[in-house]
Structure 1
Amino acid sequence: MNIAIAGGTGFVGTKLTSLLTNAGHHVYILTRSPEKFSNTNAITYVGWLKEGMQPESELQDCDAIINLAGESLFGYWTEEKKQRILSSRVEATNRVIELIQALENKPNVLVNASAVGFYGTSDQKTFTEQTTTAGNDFLAYVTKKWENTANKAAAFDVRVIHARLGIVLGETGTLSLMSLPFKFFVGGPIGSGEQWLSWIHVDDVVRMLLFAIEEKNVTGPMNVTAPKPVRNKVFSQQLASVMHRPNKIKVPSFVIKTLLGEMSILVVEGQAVLPNKALSHDFRFRYDDLDVALQAIYSK
């Protein structure tokens, strides 16, 4: 297949490109600066989001589009930062829709990144794709707008999947920040430790994105999480064990909220999310147990 990726040079995008090319697919990476990269037999860099660029001229035989583009959530959430988080996702997705509209031969499917933040936060509830009501916080608002924008592709008879990602674990990215206190022997549970963490190993993320393309009966929301979410206190214990570090210093919620402001919702609150749609279509996880996932990452 010919598969285009927006956000293909990031942490997940790089892993995804490797998986796709190793499987024999040709990847078109949409980038503002194609001149910075060299094309290969399996990867073509296509300019977009700048005046004069016409990515549709190079993507007429595109079978699928995966959109991973968006401003990082990390950083103090000023009003300006929050606007960038929202606008970067909605605008990039709108540009993907414009690209689809411009293509004479439409792709079969759009896999658009989203987030488990759609569900809001809860210590008690468990969320699946059957949960249709969004939460009432900022991240829920962003993901709802994001998904509504992606749904425009359906007007062109394109199958749309909202890949609601949990906390992606890998050698870099979120885990490198979460593990930093443990490296300096000051790690431990955050707040009550009861908040849920819906995690997934990056290798399963990219396999699931390809699965969404190949499995034609998958449509709409798809939770991209491992089937065994854990509470923060369990995550801290297992991370400390794998890193051979103590897990003794509990960080009060008010400290995190003071340091991070509204962004603290990412670490002091959470949600238990299950990947029921993928499981019901026979997706098989390589890492469905947190300890196994962390051992795989830290053994490299």
Structure 2
Amino acid sequence: MSRNTRVYVAGHRGLVGSALCRALRGRVELVTATSAELDLRDAAATAAFLDRHRPEVVVVAAARVGGIGANAAAPVDFLSDNLRIQLSIMDAARALRVPRLLFLGSSCIYPRQARLPIREEELMTGPLEPTNSAYAVAKIAGVEQVRAVRAQHGLAWISAMPTNLYGPGDNFHPTRSHVLPALVRRFHEAVREGHGEVVVWGTGAPRREFLHSDDAAAALVTLLESYDDPDPINVGTGRDISIAGLARLIADASGFRGRVRFDDAKPDGTPRKVLDVSRITALGWRPAIALREGIAATCAWYRDAVAADLAVAR
């Protein structure tokens, strides 16, 4: 890619899309559109947009996302919206023969009982995790569309499987967010409101892997410049932590000194999920932000954002 390369980042206001735009700004010609300007579920509008801007690279970072609660409450929305977003973008890009496209899947689309650490070959080798199966099926369809386009049309499209991402600009909604941002909000609210206890969903035993969004963006740039294969490639740290351990890190970063209680009436999800990242590290990429450091920075960003919102409300 060069300064004249036109790169369309779909989902540029999301967690990974915004990080990718930060990484690419000044290096390429960025093309973006807000959801108010372009509904990516609208195939005709999406095709017209791509035809007008004629990008040479497309990154499909747009998606309907959420945690266990959101997926369980609205599986139809997660399936339908993500399928329509993917089809709109990729069908339009295929019609224009966009030479380079990167589709973002998710590590949650691997089987619930995949062998650990999870290698890319584990995809579609067993049943999915029931709490997010609708979302997973949509993302699997996107991975298969990339493979199909490569096979039928010879375009150098690729797909990546990022692990759980976090960082500034994440979704901190109390019920629709993923575990890390949900806990950041919960612990900060407890500190601000003087609560002596924070409740964490599940037993605390499941183990998860977390990658800062700026590290993820650097990985995606590496893939756009160096990777060309029909198989998806994992993006992560290769290291995991229990939800209980994660809660302790966030409690420390937020200044919470009370009791942490685990509600085992709530679902745990997959018992353990950690990726084999040997293929991407062989390309020369390594994560640079340690989890404790990244959580501290995310907590500080969230605290400042809440303070700014409160100031505006006054």
Task: Give the alignment's TM-score, normalised by structure 1.
Answer: 0.79
Shift of 1:296: 3.1
In 1, distance between residues paired with 2:41 and 2:59?
16
Shift of 1:7: 1.6
Where does 1:10-49 land on structure 2 (aligned, <5 Å)? 10-22=14-26, 24-31=27-34, 33-34=36-37, 49=43
Report if the CA contact (8 A) 1:63-1:108 is conserved. Answer: yes
The answer for the alignment partner of 1:157 in structure 2 is: 154
Cα 1:249/1:50, change in 2 over 3 Å? same
Measured against aligned partners, the alpha-carbon deviations of 1:42-76 in whole angstroms (never above 9, x if no partner) come to xxxx997455961243343x321110122232454
Where does 1:50-89 land on structure 2 (aligned, <5 Å)? 50-51=44-45, 54-60=48-54, 62-74=55-67, 76-77=70-71, 81-89=74-82
Q: Secondary structure at the match of 1:127?
A: coil
In 2, distance between residues paired with 1:218 and 1:123?
22
Amino acid at match of 1:274: D
In 2, distance between residues paired with 1:95 and 1:13?
18
Report if the CA contact (8 A) 1:32-1:49 is conserved. Answer: no
In 2, distance between residues paired with 1:50 and 1:91?
11
Shift of 1:276: 2.2
In 2, distance between residues paired with 1:77 and 1:199?
19
Q: Secondary structure at the match of 1:162?
A: strand
After the TM superposition, which parts of structure 1 deviate over 6 Å for at least 4 consecutive aligned residues? none
Where does 1:102-181 land on structure 2 (aligned, <5 Å)? 102-103=95-96, 106-122=97-113, 125-132=116-123, 133-137=125-129, 138=133, 139-154=135-150, 155-171=152-168, 172-173=170-171, 174=178, 175-181=180-186
Q: What is the identity percentage for the equivalent residue pairs of Structure 1 and Structure 2?
A: 14
Cα 1:247/1:218, change in 2 over 3 Å? farther
Structure 1 gap ranges (5+): 36-45, 258-263
Shift of 1:120: 3.1
In 2, distance between residues paired with 1:53 and 1:108?
16
Determine which of 285, 288, 297 is the counterpart of 1:286. Answer: 288
The answer to whether 1:274 aligns with 2:276 is: yes
Cα 1:159/1:135, change in 2 over 3 Å? farther
Cα 1:69/1:149, change in 2 over 3 Å? same
Compute the RMSD of aligned alpha carbons: 3.1
Report if the CA contact (8 A) 1:129-1:275 is conserved. Answer: no
Cα 1:2/1:125, change in 2 over 3 Å? same
Structure 2 gap ranges (5+): 172-177, 191-195, 302-314
Amino acid at match of 1:195: P
In 1, distance between residues paired with 2:147 and 2:258?
44
Measured against aligned partners, the alpha-carbon deviations of 1:86-142 in whole angstroms (never above 9, x if no partner) come to 122222211222212321xx3332211111112233598321223232542315433
The answer to whether 1:238 aligns with 2:249 is: yes
Q: Secondary structure at the match of 1:194?
A: coil
Equivalent pairs, count: 276
Shift of 1:188: 6.2
Report if the CA contact (8 A) 2:204-2:262 is conserved. Answer: no
Where does 1:187-206 land on structure 2 (aligned, <5 Å)? 187=198, 190-206=201-217
In 1, distance between residues paired with 2:258 and 2:53?
50
